[in-house]
Amino acid sequence: MALGSWERLEHYAHDIIDDMNNWVTGWVDWNLALDMEGGPNWANNFVDAVVIVNKETDEFYKNPMFYALGHFSKFVQAGAERLDVTSSDLQVIQVTAFVNPDQTFVVVLLNRSEEEVEVTVNVEERGTMFLNMPPRSLLTALFL
């Protein structure tokens, strides 16, 4: 288990973005909370989770994956439609975008590189944002 691992956040966000961009209609983690050993687990493949529960101390820990999941669950509404995204360099920045039922636009961007990257996000008829994405960062842009 990698408690507090930023690499797991990056992998988690990458998986969600990749799945969304390849026509899944929803995304669910197999288990959102596990104990300190990565269980219970019928298959004995003990791993980490979004939330880790320490039953001995009656505490829980939000792994960085918790916050990655929030970039989607807090902003992408039920019934949202994924939008096609064009980019001059999808090798550096991974991106997915949605239009919500209330007509807000959500763009989630992941920079897994070790370099700061300048990004321009343009949503037709909504506007343009110029962003500096720090190295190894996850960002959500919301167009109202």
Structural domain 77-144, CATH architecture: Sandwich (2.60)
Domain regions of the chain by residue span = 1-74, 77-144
Q: Which stretches of the chain score pLDDT less than 70? A: 1, 89-90
CA gap 120, 32 in Å, rounded? 33
CA gap 83, 52 in Å, rounded? 33
Q: How many residues in the chain?
A: 144
Residue 1: per-residue pLDDT = 67
Contact by Cβ (8 Å): 117, 141: no
If you search the block for the tokens 């989630």, which residue do you land on?
108
pTM for this predicted structure: 0.90
If you search the block for the tokens 């001059």, which residue do you land on?
88
Residue 56: per-residue pLDDT = 96
